[in-house]
């Protein structure tokens, strides 16, 4: 009887030393679960930040491409002496390829991104673009309702998720691009480019107006 009791005590001692209690298993399971939840939250945050960054880049490219198109237009209507901001009488309010000066874009709004010829920009479905053009006071930098010779253009682009990005530019009636060339000849006035970042489906189309126009004697 004594030998049997000693064997039972040895067996119980070995069991306590070689295994895990139920409390230890539950605690380890909870710890792993908490670490896994934290890792998933971090991964989701990284994905959200990456998506917002990509949207910001796409929005900026869409805004800059439209801004370049606007600034390529004359400061004032070449066929009218009107100083009123907006389309002149008889001009199209929707066909922007027919706009002949920058303030024709004032209050222009589209709920889909399109090129000047009306074709949709690939991968830009649901993006909204809105333009405002105002006279701006040269020194006070405030909006003016009379002709100051300086116009401020603002292009605001909003993603399908509601995130917005805006770009602004100033255009003077006394700028180099407004002056008529002295030489009766053909010369380069601008360079058009198209850029695409990585696998982005939204290429940025823009045009830069050159200021070093040739002059005659």
Q: What is the mean pLDDT of residues 40-53?
A: 68
Contact (Cβ atoms closer than 8 angstroms) between residue 147 and residue 133 = no
Residue 150: which pLDDT band, with cuts at 50, 70 and 90? very high
Domain spans of the chain, in order of start = 46-173
For residues 118 and 20, which has the higher predicted lDDT (pLDDT)? 118
Q: What is the mean pLDDT of residues 30-42?
A: 78
For a pLDDT cut of 70, what percent of the chain falls above it?
69
Contact (Cβ atoms closer than 8 angstroms) between residue 99 and residue 76 = no
């Amino acid at each position: 009887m004594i030998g049997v009791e000693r064997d039972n005590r040895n067996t119980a001692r070995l069991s306590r030393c070689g295994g895990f209690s139920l409390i230890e298993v539950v605690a380890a399971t909870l710890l792993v679960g908490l670490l896994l939840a934290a890792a998933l939250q971090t991964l989701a945050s990284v994905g959200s930040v990456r998506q917002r960054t990509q949207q910001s880049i796409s929005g900026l490219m869409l805004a800059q491409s439209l801004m370049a198109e606007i600034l390529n237009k004359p400061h004032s209507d070449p066929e009218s002496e009107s100083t009123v901001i907006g389309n002149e009488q008889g001009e199209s309010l929707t066909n922007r390829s027919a706009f002949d000066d920058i303030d024709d874009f004032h209050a222009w709004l589209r709920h889909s991104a399109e090129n000047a010829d009306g074709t949709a920009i690939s991968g830009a479905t649901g993006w909204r673009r809105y333009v405002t053009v105002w006279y701006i006071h040269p020194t006070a930098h405030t909006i003016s309702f009379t002709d100051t010779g300086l116009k401020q253009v603002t292009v605001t682009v909003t993603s399908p998720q509601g995130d917005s990005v805006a770009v602004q530019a100033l255009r003077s009636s006394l700028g180099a691009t407004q002056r008529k060339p002295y030489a009766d000849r053909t010369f380069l006035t601008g360079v058009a480019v198209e850029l695409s970042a990585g696998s982005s489906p939204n290429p940025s189309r823009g045009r830069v107006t050159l200021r070093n126009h040739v002059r005659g004697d």
